[in-house]
Chains A and B, each alone.
Chain A
Amino acid sequence: MFETDLSLNDLMFLAKGAGVTLAITFFAVTGGTLMGLLFGVIRAQIKPWMALPLTFVLDIFRSVPLLIQLILANAFQAIAGFGISPFVTSCIVLALYTSAYCTEIVRGAIEAVPMVTRRAARSLGLTWGQDMTQIVFPMALRVALPSWIGLTLGVMKDSALVLWLGIFELLKSSQVLITRLQEPMFILLITGAIYFMLSFPIARLGGRLERKWKEND
């Protein structure tokens, strides 16, 4: 018969960690997506050499390991005396990291909208902004959604790295329980299940939207 020392209290402890993971993911993805939209539109609209500084900075965020970014940012804010909490630092770093990937998704999706479709819109008298909101964004969204869902799920998992800044998110909470209860397999199983439960609705939402759009194709 299977026995465990895991109590309801411990489960609540894990749930709290999951809440932190969810919160960090939410802020990172929201901030990163908004920035990614802005940067992606800029990159799709202006000449490549004019966007070079932006591209360069975003490439840094994409290529330096997230863990290094987190630790450097946290150390930097401590030295500079900003007094920003590790939680906020984590959200900012993860948001920038997300935005770097999101920018590429947005740029690619905008460029996937055929030139002639945009010309047709403009030749009907639509302004640049109307073309963007009425034609380009809805069309690009269909292209970008699968990658964006993948990015969001990736960021949720990558957010575990903030435990190095002493934040008790889901993975860190499971580590604490493992150390105390010495039941690594069981606790990791539960932790994995929680990650899955957090990701599943996002993945399903994406699938549902894609299917709905497919009906029109």
Chain B
Amino acid sequence: MIEIENVHKSFGALKVLKGIDLTVAKGEVVSVIGGSGSGKSTLLTCINGLEPIDSGRILVDGTEVHAKSTDLNKLRRKIGIVFQQFNAFPHLTVLENVTLAPRKVKGMSKSDAEEIAVKHLNHVGLGDKLKVYPSRLSGGQQQRMAIARALAMSPDYMLFDEVTSALDPQLVGEVLDTLKLLADEGMTMICVTHEMGFARDVSNRVAFFDQGVMAEIGPPEQIFGDAKNEATRKFLSSVR
């Protein structure tokens, strides 16, 4: 379970998160939508401790992420994250990209790590690209590789930050299909997305962010069919 309690966060004078409360249960898929600069990416990087927070707290399975005593390197093993921008390790092959963390972080043997990596790469449809370097992959393939890389650590939670927004339209589908597959398998996911169709079809709940505040959250039918918040309605009519 991920529990976000009254989290405030600023970059310098800029208040980016202004008291976020959100609890995500095991097996739940929560989509986060909202305008540019509303703090969606920042929230994800706070959840796995890449960014410090000013106040409030975030608990992952009861462990406080930003407590001094927390071993972040250990905690991050169970939280996978895939970023908006491509972030392959360019000097490693696809297979090496995926086996790196299981080997170095979990201390797995090369063959064990490769077995797991191949399984996840097959899963995302990259089974024939093992020895290829990332620069030879399309954007969609790079994002799917990043997903397999995160999954190879067998995380309990996956955070997705607009993983399709840097892709050509014809590549969006293949990545969204991969996310749907994961959701069907019961992965706990927080997906920041601009793909309203995806948010509607796949999520259990949809959260709308507006200028650092979670203005509204509810089941997709309610958010898309009968939004209570004026800002939500305005945003949805602008993206449709």
Contact = CB atoms under 8 A, between A and B. Distances in A.
Q: Do A and B come from one complex?
A: yes
A216 B87 contact: no
B91 A139 contact: yes
B74 A123 contact: no
Contacts of B77: 124-125
Given A119-B45, A120-B146, A125 B87 contact: no
A117 B100 CA distance: 14
Interface string B60-101: 000000000000011011011101010111110000000011
B45 A121 contact: no
A209 to B, nearest CB: 12
Contacts of A135: 89
Interface in A135-151: 135, 138-139, 142
B157 to A, nearest CB: 12
B135 A123 contact: no
Contacts of A119: 45, 50, 83, 87
B149 A124 contact: yes
A188 interface: no
B98 to A, nearest CB: 10
A123 B105 contact: no
Nearest to B87: A120
Given A119-B45, A123-B81, A216 B73 contact: no
Main secondary structure on A side of the interface with B: helix
A112 B50 CA distance: 20
A117 B89 contact: yes
Interface string B35-79: 000000000010010100000000000000000000001101101
A190 B104 CA distance: 52
Nearest to A137: B91
B133 interface: yes
Contacts of B100: 124, 126, 134
Q: How large is the interface on B (under 10, 10 to 19, 20 to 34, 35 or more residues)?
A: 20 to 34
Contact of B79 (A120, A123, A127): A123
B91 A125 contact: no
A114 B100 CA distance: 18
Interface in A172-217: 213, 216-217
Contact of B73 (A116, A120, A126, A138): A126
B87 A124 contact: no
Interface in A93-135: 114, 116-117, 119-127, 130, 134-135
B76 A123 contact: yes
Interface in B144-166: 146, 149-150, 153
Nearest to B101: A124
Contacts of B48: 123
A122 B88 CA distance: 13
A142 B89 CA distance: 13
Of A114, A116, A123, A130, most B-chain CB atoms within 10 Å: A123
A123 B45 CA distance: 9
B90 A116 contact: no
A134 B77 CA distance: 17
A139 B76 contact: no
Given A123-B50, A123-B76, A123-B79, A116 B87 contact: yes
Nearest to B98: A124
12 contacts: A116-B85, A119-B50, A123-B150, A124-B80, A124-B101, A125-B74, A125-B105, A134-B89, A139-B90, A139-B91, A217-B133, A217-B135
Interface of B: 45, 48, 50, 73-74, 76-77, 79-81, 83, 85, 87-91, 100-101, 104-105, 133, 135, 146, 149-150, 153
Q: Which 10 A-B pairs have the closest CB atoms?
A: A124-B101, A120-B87, A216-B133, A125-B105, A125-B77, A125-B76, A138-B91, A116-B87, A123-B81, A116-B85
Given A119-B45, A217-B135, 18 more contacts: A114-B85, A114-B87, A116-B85, A117-B88, A123-B50, A123-B79, A124-B76, A124-B77, A124-B100, A124-B105, A125-B101, A125-B105, A126-B101, A126-B105, A134-B104, A139-B91, A216-B135, A217-B133
